Amino acid sequence: MIMNNEKLPHSQSALIFGIFSIVTACCCWGIVGLIFGLIGLSNANKAIALHNENPDIYSGINNANTGRITSIIGIVVGLLYLIWLIYLISTGEFNVMIEQYQQIFDDEM
């Protein structure tokens, strides 16, 4: 007898948030990636716990596992980027970097 398994809740959103966390960790100074990573990790943990309670009912555990991995990667990259940003601000290098970007922008215009 073939059973139709239900789609595992939170698994697809965990994967999406995990992917967004990696992308935004690189593009948005790490903060947004860190937030998306934490949300993705939370959703992945919910999905995995739900699957472990009733493994025969749900399908899609691979999305939850991949979402967990990508969320962890996004969190790590976001934290590293955030630590680097804090270092730049505390040493005064952030202002120098912004001035260099402004100079490049002004030269292009």
Tell me, what's the pLDDT at 24?
Answer: 95
Tell me, what's the pLDDT at 84?
Answer: 93
Q: What number is the average pLDDT over the span 30-35?
A: 93
Q: How many CA atoms lie within 13 A of 78 on its CB side?
A: 24
Q: pTM of this prediction?
A: 0.85
DSSP annotation of 8 reads P
Q: What number is the average pLDDT over the span 88-106?
A: 90
Residue 2 predicted with pLDDT over 70:
no
pLDDT grade for 109, boundaries at 50, 70 and 90:
confident
Q: What number is the average pLDDT over the span 6-35?
A: 93
Which residues 6+ apart lie within 8 Å of 73 measured at CB? 18, 21, 22, 37
What residues does each domain of the chain span? Answer: 10-108
Residue 35 predicted with pLDDT over 80:
yes
Identify the CA nearest to 72 among candidates 37, 48, 42: 37
